[in-house]
Amino acid sequence: MDTPRNATSATSGSAIGLVFTLVAIFVAALNLRAGITSVGPVLSDILGWYDASPAVAGLITAMPGAFFAVMGLCAVPLAERIGMSRTLLIGMSFTLTGLAVRPWTGSVWLFLLFTAFVVVGIALSNVLLPAWIKLHGGRNIVTLMTVNTTVLGISGALGPLSAGLAEREGGWRDALFVWVSAGLAQVLVWLFVAVRNGYDFPRYRVAATETPGTPGTPGAPGAPGTPGTPGALPSLWTSPSAVFLMAYFGLQSMHAYIQMGYLSQILLDSGVSRTVASLGLSINAGWGILGGLVIPTVIARLPRVEVLPLLFGALTFSGYLGLLLAPAAAPLLWSSLLGVGGWAFVLALNLIVVKARHPLVAARLSGFVQPFGYVIAALGPLVIGLVYRPEVGWTGILLALLVLALVKGVVGFLAARPGFVDDDLGLSEPRIVEN
């Protein structure tokens, strides 16, 4: 088995090392949304090309959340076996394959298959990039998380803009295929990262504590007993902070994927042009760029951040209310309100790092919050795909989203309260030791 490299080697060894690490995070984050958000504005063209039913639209829009959940559960165990950098490279190779093949498939089922390839790779990056930054970031964790979340927003904003290539018949294929170049760039960069880092998952065990009154009494692994008795990390289901953060991440991701898949259609059904609808989705995602720039620094400087989820929940509520009452009156304003409300995602992603003291806890927390959170996220687009009918419209769906926006704010408030997941797990003392 390869020996793990020093956790700070990627960024603290030299200025060149830091620049290369920034480039690696940049190209990885650039691929985290474009392969998904580029589909929404041309979804009707895709369905028409394959003569597919509206239920297929539900499958396509639910796929990110569903596969993020499934692959998220596999991400940390796979990384523990072969290393974080190698696992990320494998996922990026899946994404590249999906981006290259998906537009040219001859059936809608093959289109779904290679969309799954795209999403599988993005899912692995979603889970492992925060933990990779925690492990390799050294003194530059805030900088790297800022790059990650900012460029993720750029990726989401640029994706819908490729719909401009779809004006001619069959042009939706060009709108999707254009992202192959970004996928190829990340594979080439991370091939070098994976070779350089080798095996890079933290190998630790949980040392046991002494049972009060009976020092030296052997105990079960990870439970009170002889100091140094190896044990597994306690279940994250026992941590209220972890559970609330998982629910918050899931609710925000549900809103995000509903907006990615259906915001353009809501605006189109209200009578706005395709150009305005695509621009609305791009602006919606583009606000994530500013959120990625400011939220990591805000979290680092604010002593208490509970107010932020309440604010983002209120903004999301306002955006849906605008779409319900007057969608065509100010479509870009409603898209913007939803976009700023989506800063909740940046907040949740950064809380995964902030609420863990130890890289091992951060990795486990990321592998808990994101997979189970994406189970929640997948339900929204799937249900909408099943219940939406053009003759009925969006009123009932938007009313449900208004309620979910308020729930998101309350759950986020509970997730952002002071405290560390390490403490919830009884790891407040230095009980995680190198194996």
Amino acid at 121: G
Mean pLDDT over the full length of the chain: 83
pLDDT of 265-296, one tens digit each?
899 888 888 788 888 888 887 787 888 888 88
Q: Kindly state the average pLDDT of the residues 418-424.
A: 86
Q: Kindly state the average pLDDT of the residues 103-107.
A: 92
pLDDT value of position 203:
67
pLDDT value of position 167:
64
8 Å CB contact between 381 and 265: no
| Stronger pLDDT, 261 or 428, i.e. the higher one | 261
pLDDT-derived band at 307 (thresholds 50, 70, 90) equals: very high
pLDDT value of position 161:
78
pLDDT of 144-168, one tens digit each?
988 988 888 788 878 877 877 666 6
pLDDT-derived band at 367 (thresholds 50, 70, 90) equals: confident
| Stronger pLDDT, 159 or 187, i.e. the higher one | 187
pLDDT value of position 169:
58
Q: Percentage of the chain surpassing pLDDT 70?
A: 86
- The pTM for the full model equals 0.71
One-letter-per-residue 3-state SS of the chain = CCCCCCCCHHHHCCHHHHHHHHHHHHHHHHCCCHHHHCCHHHHHHHHHHHCCCHHHHHHHHHHHHHHHHHHHHHHHHHHHHHCHHHHHHHHHHHHHHHHHHHHHCCCHHHHHHHHHHHHHHHHHHHHHHHHHHHHHCHHHHHHHHHHHHHHHHHHHHHHHHHHHHHCCCCCHHHHHHCCHHHHHHHHHHHHHHHHHHCCCCCCEEECCCCCCCCCCCCCCCCCCCCCCCCCCCCCHHHCHHHHHHHHHHHHHHHHHHHHHHHHHHHHHHCCCCHHHHHHHHHHHHHHHHHHHHHHHHHHHHCCCCCHHHHHHHHHHHHHHHHHHHCCCCCHHHHHHHHHHHCHHHHHHHHHHHHCCCCHHHHHHHHHHHHHHHHHHHHHHHHHHHHHCCCCCCCHHHHHHHHHHHHHHHHHHHHHCCCCCHHHHCCCCCCCEEEC
Domains along the sequence of the chain with CATH: 9-201+233-434 (1.20.1250.20)
pLDDT above 50 for 6: no
pLDDT of 218-261, one tens digit each?
333 333 333 333 356 788 999 999 999 999 999 998 998 888 87
pLDDT-derived band at 326 (thresholds 50, 70, 90) equals: very high
pLDDT above 60 for 47: yes
* CA–CA separation, 61 and 260 (whole Å): 8
Q: Kindly state the average pLDDT of the residues 322-344.
A: 94
Report the sign of the C-alpha dihedral through residues 33, 38, 41, 46, in that order: negative
pLDDT value of position 211:
41
pLDDT-derived band at 27 (thresholds 50, 70, 90) equals: very high
Query: Of the given ranges (27-31, 68-72, 104-108, 163-167), which has the lowest mean pLDDT?
Result: 163-167
pLDDT value of position 10:
44
Buried b (16+ CB within 10 A) or exposed e, 139-151: ebbbbbbbbbbbb
pLDDT of 7-20, one tens digit each?
444 444 567 788 89
pLDDT-derived band at 411 (thresholds 50, 70, 90) equals: very high
